[in-house]
A and B are shown apart, each in its own frame.
Chain A
Amino acid sequence: MAKDKIQDFESMVLGHFGPYGGRFVPEALIAALDELAEAHSQAQSDPKFHAELNQLHKTYSGRPSILTDAKRFSQYAGGARVLLKREDLNHTGSHKINNVLGQSLLTKRMGKKRIIAETGAGQHGVASATAAALFGLECVVYMGEADTKRQALNVARMKLLGAEVVPVTQGSKTLKDAINEAMRDWVTNVETTHYLLGTVAGPHPFPTVVRDFQRIIGVEAKEQVLELTGKLPDAVLACVGGGSNAIGIFHPFIEDKSVRLIGLEAGGKGIETGLHAATISGGSPGVLHGTRSYVLQDKNGQTVESHSISAGLDYPGVGPEHAYLNDLGRAEYRPITDDQAMYAFSLLCKSEGIIPAIETAHALAGALEIGNELGKEATLLINLSGRGDKDVQTAADYFGLPL
């Protein structure tokens, strides 16, 4: 027993999740990663930090987020009860704000005045720009040039909020390259700058820090489901790109062995076509962006470009804790194609009056599958991670609506 505890402690220090996680970064970043790990660990045991963060949740982002009983949508999910955890109602429109507020408080504690962030769809960029305005921090957001064009509205939002948006023209000009560029900025400006990473990937301590700030989703949801139904849900579902909203809702349920944890990955045009972003379902273990996890890569260890209709899931890596939960068999990961996601997107719009983010629509498509498998006695908890205002253009194009 004592030995197990020591190993746990070492794993915590190195940020390992079984064989995954860790740190694969230039030595120049180690001091900053250690500083962040230390600040986070101190904050976690400081009641003042929690009080400040809770206050922000209550009076700024609008927590606790509510639980919606999706009765009409449930008819399409084999009659299973479908409960939606409404992270879409948070300020800035997604779960991203939870992590951003937490890390901004850590930035303040570390005495840094500048934050940098990467963004794909722009949701994390917008949340970062928002928090920077709130805390009076300088903010630079790196965004692949291709994404700045696809998500022009979010670029404008970030600029309105006072952030500088840097289009990245290297490599594939998408999220992966935005992360590379943010890391280069960090290597150069590490003394004054905090890298506010948006997902549970990257080098230790990011997968732990981001998870700890997203756990609130699952903590609240568990209590809400118990209050509403008197029992634990049969399955918890969430979409998985990097995996922050999924780990946030999964984590408080990990010990509840009766609850199935199901992550829905972006299957793009189908795994068999190679045009997908389903890292666990269609990738293999490797190293990317400072961590060991499942990666989409070729035989030479080169990162392969991912494809998804959802910019937020369009990433060839995934958080190391998901890789570990998968290998342990504690969580399951399934691919959802673009078409399946868009069908579920449309269904939620018309059956519940909620326009979800296309990322989130992957989780909803999973609910249709799982609900039909489990039948009407089952209760499914879905993380409705974001709202779809940003996706109106993409959806209109997909459904052929004239704008």
Chain B
Amino acid sequence: MSTPLEKLFTKAKIENRALLIGYLPAGFPIQKKAKKIIKAMVSGGVDAIEIGYPYSDPVMDGPVIQAASDEAIKNGAGAAEVFELLQTSVELGVPSVVMSYWSPIEKYGATEFAREVSKRGGSGVITPDLTFEESEKWRAESTQNSLNRIYVVAPSSTKDRLAKVANECTGFVYAASLMGVTGTRSLVSANAKQLVERVRSVSNTPVAVGLGVSNKEQAKEVAVFADGVIVGSAFIKVVQEFGAGRTGLKKVKQLAESLSEGVRSARKI
């Protein structure tokens, strides 16, 4: 049984294009606004959604996402908001997953968490700090609930390690570039391309790249070689700058449209 996310990757492959995947922490800036932001992202052409579980100690994220997470937590975001926003997103007709550090999942109970994601129609869960050595329970629970298990790989991973982690993934492999936040665009792109190629040499699962892509040109560049382009901080920055009122939502939609154009035009000559 394929998840909606897997089906979408298959469809995109036939269309010869990459997917645009948008990220937003639940409850940011407040839950009511978060729902509207997700709608704006989807109406602008985002193909799939990652709902972030805002966490107090997000070591894999830069300052933009940490600030957004802190704000969401302050405004009361927790498991209930994550599941609710996931459902909102699913009901808009886009495949949706949760991205969460392991602490909140373990606290909620891995069994209950998997069950709830599945119940709300989620396709899977991205776990940025769950190593495959610690995954025994999660492997069982995600399988039991027909959820995609998405791990993050990095340029520093050895070949053996890359093969092991990539083969644990279903849905897609999340490729994170180390130098993503600070490197120049061409450097980022070269790093990401090399990493995607390395993953492809050990796995047939689609590969999506998340590395601080923020505009149409970058999205286009990455969409040439990756199966998915993940954008998070750029959407959050728009909200931080313009708010989530009419202007902010319009800007979010415009960014989604522009990124979507980039992704869709990447492989056309």
Please determine whether chains A and B interact with each other in the same assembly.
Answer: yes
Residues of A near any B CB (own CB < 8 A): 14, 22-32, 170-171, 176-177, 180, 183-184, 187-188, 190-191, 286-290, 292, 295, 297, 299-303
* B156 located at the interface, meaning its Cβ lies under 8 Å from any Cβ of chain A in the complex: yes
Q: Across the interface, which residues of B come within 8 angstroms of A187, CB to CB? A: 59-60, 178
For A191, list chain B residues within 8 Å (CB): 156
Known: A176-B57, A302-B56. A27 touches B66 (CB 8 A): no
**Alpha-carbon separation in the docked complex, A310 to B122 (Å):** 45
Pick from A23, A26, A27, A289 the residue with the most CB of B within 10 Å: A27
**A-facing residues in B80-137 (Cβ within 8 Å):** 101-108, 128-131, 133-134
Q: Check B187 for interface membership: any CB of A closer than 8 A.
A: no
Rank and list the top 5 A-B pairs by shortest CB-CB distance, nearest first. A301-B107, A28-B154, A301-B104, A300-B78, A301-B103
Which residues of chain B have C-beta atoms less than 8 A from A297's C-beta?
A: 103, 107
Quick check: A30 and B103 within 8 Å, CB to CB? no
Point out the residues of chain A lying under 8 angstroms from B56, CB to CB: 171, 302-303
* Residues of the A chain whose Cβ atoms lie less than 8 Å from the Cβ of B59: 25-26, 180, 183-184, 187, 289-290
Interface on chain A toward B: helix, strand, loop, or mixed SS?
mixed
With A27-B161, A190-B156, A287-B106 already in contact, 13 other A-B pairs whose C-beta atoms are closer than 8 Å: A23-B131, A24-B103, A25-B131, A26-B152, A26-B154, A27-B154, A170-B63, A177-B57, A180-B59, A287-B102, A300-B78, A303-B56, A303-B57
Whether A27 lies near B151 (C-beta < 8 A) is yes
B157 within 8 A of A: yes
Bound: A188/B62 CA distance, A: 11
Find chain B residues with CB under 8 A from A292 CB. Answer: 106
Q: Is there contact, CB below 8 Å, between B178 and A188?
A: yes
Indicate whether B186 reaches chain A with its CB closer than 8 angstroms: no
Which chain A residues border B9 with CB–CB below 8 Å? none
Q: Within the complex, which residue of B67, B79, B129, B165 is in contact with A25, where a contact is CB–CB below 8 Å?
A: B129
Q: Which residues of A contact B178 (CB under 8 A)?
A: 28, 187-188, 190
Which residues of chain B from 140 to 165 have any CB-CB distance to chain A below 8 Å in the complex? 151-158, 161, 165
Q: How many A-B residue pairs have CB under 8 A?
A: 117
B156 and A289 form a contact (CB under 8 A): no
Q: Are B103 and A287 in contact (CB under 8 A)?
A: yes
Other-chain residue from A14, A29, A31, A288 in contact with B57 (beta carbon distance below 8 A): A288
- Assembled-state Cα–Cα distance A288/B104 (Å): 10
Report yes or no: B165 in contact with A27, Cβ–Cβ below 8 A.
yes
Complex Cα spacing A180 to B103, Å:
14
The docked-state distance in angstroms from the alpha carbon of A401 to that of B269 is 78
Contact B161 A31 (CB under 8 A): yes
Once bound together, how far apart are the Cα atoms of A191 and B154, in whole Å? 13
| Nearest CB on B from A29, distance (A) | 8
Separation of A32 and B66 alpha carbons in the complex (Å): 24
Cα separation A180 to B67 with both chains bound (whole Å)? 13
Chain B residues with CB under 8 A of A288: 57, 103
Contacts A27-B165, A180-B57; A32 near B156 (Cβ below 8 A): yes
Contact of A31 among B58, B102, B156 (CB under 8 A): B156
Are B129 and A26 within 8 A (Cβ)?
Answer: yes
CA distance A301 to B55 in the complex (A): 8
Would you call B60 and A170 a contact (CB within 8 A)?
no
Interface residue B73 (Cβ < 8 Å from any Cβ of A): yes
B176 lies within 8 A of chain A by Cβ: yes
Let me know if B133 and A14 touch, CB within 8 A: yes
CB contact between B104 and one of A14, A23, A289, A300 (< 8 Å): that residue: A300
Q: Nearest Cβ in chain A — how far from B23, in angstroms?
A: 16
Q: Kindly provide the distance from the CB of A193 to the nearest chain B CB, expressed in whole angstroms.
A: 12
Q: Which residue of B lies closest to A290 (CB)?
A: B129
Select B107's contact among A29, A32, A190, A300, beta carbons within 8 Å. Answer: A300
Complex Cα distance, B66 from A295, in Å, reads 20
